[in-house]
Amino acid sequence: MSTPPIRFDDGAAYERFMGLWSRRVGEAFLDWLSPPPGGQWLDVGCGNGAFTELLVAECAPDSVDGVDPSEGQLAYARTRPALAAARFQTGDAMALPFPDNSFDAAVMPLVIFFVPEPRRGVTEMVRVVRLGGTVSAYAWDMMEGGFPYFPLQQAMREAGLTVPAPPSPEASRLETLRELWTDAGLMEVETHTITVQRTFADFADYWTTVLGGPSVGATLAALTPAAVADLQARVQAALPVAADGSISCSGRANAVMGRVAD
């Protein structure tokens, strides 16, 4: 049986599931990247605009364009007051809808493992960025347990449930990111690892959050009450529950950046 695809259609549910994670890892990523203010930026796979909003606040770009295949996610991004001046359109990371040399910087936040052909995605970013510009990305370390909800996924597998997987999880490896950037002809390639944390008030908060997750929400919603109870017990046993009932989880992402040769 084939693994069902992961779909991102509900911007509000995605915000609760991944928005906070995205902002925390995005802040650390931008601190590392340390870009100069201004410039024309492209956010590839911008989703509901969580990182785009952070980019506007932290980098004061002259302009920002966002591309994503989900119109539902883009509709949510357009509701963010801070992104009133940003331009959003549907598009494919492997065939960006822009002419050559259109931007000073392109970034792919938490996306490259969703691109069926990562090399094409990197090549496209290089194509649309001007000489001397920056091409960067960061991705949850999917292969080494860095995804923030890895304990849930592991418990699902142990229970015999199918966990939908992105098409290119291996692209999230640090060495693979370096290879992709180097093979695309980018110069001054650097990599970095980022670890962030998030605390849930209690297990009910955690469970309600994951029910809206595009990677597992549909599977969880279809379970029988007995299967839900079994899975919840497995997940609770795997999570670090504090004395007050709160749950602090961590996520680990790999980042890469390079410059277009001038």
Residue-wise pLDDT for 161-198, tens only, equals: 988 889 999 999 999 999 999 999 999 999 999 999 99
pLDDT of 251 strictly over 90: yes
Q: What is the pLDDT of residues 201-241, one digit of tens each?
A: 999 999 999 888 877 878 888 899 999 999 999 999 999 99
The class level of CATH for 11-259 reads: alpha beta
Q: What are phi and psi of 237, to 5 degrees?
A: -65, -25
- Supply 4's token pair: 């069902």
pLDDT of residue 2: 42
Q: Quickly state the pLDDT bin for 17 (edges 50, 70, 90).
A: confident
Percent of the chain residues past pLDDT 90, beyond the cut: 83
Least trusted range by pLDDT, from 8-12, 13-17, 57-61, 89-93: 8-12
Q: Quickly state the pLDDT bin for 3 (edges 50, 70, 90).
A: very low
pLDDT of 71 strictly over 60: yes
- Look at residue 257 and give its three-state secondary structure: strand
pLDDT of residue 214: 73
Mean pLDDT for all residues in the chain: 93
For residues 211 and 78, which has the higher predicted lDDT (pLDDT)?
A: 78
**Can you say whether residue 113 is alpha, beta or left, with left for phi > 0 and alpha for psi between -120 and 50 degrees?**
alpha
Number of other CB atoms surrounding residue 225 within 10 Å:
7
pLDDT of residue 226: 95
Contact 85, 99 (CB under 8 A): no
**Can you say whether residue 60 is alpha, beta or left, with left for phi > 0 and alpha for psi between -120 and 50 degrees?**
left
Task: List, as one string, the DSSP characters of 33-73.
Answer: H-PPS--EEEEET-TTSHHHHHHHHHH--SEEEEEES-HHH
Q: What is the pLDDT of residues 99-127, one digit of tens each?
A: 999 999 999 999 999 999 999 999 999 99
User: Which long-range contacts does 94-98 make (Cβ < 8 Å, 24+ apart)?
Assistant: 94/120, 94/121, 94/124, 95/124, 96/42, 96/44, 96/67, 96/124, 96/125, 96/127, 96/128, 97/67, 98/42, 98/65, 98/128
Contact 82, 59 (CB under 8 A): no
For residues 3 and 94, which has the higher predicted lDDT (pLDDT)?
A: 94
For residues 43 and 13, which has the higher predicted lDDT (pLDDT)?
A: 43
pLDDT of 18 strictly over 90: no
d(CA 212, CA 216): 8
Task: For residue 111, give Cα distances in angstroms to 16, 74, 218, 262.
Answer: 18, 15, 21, 27
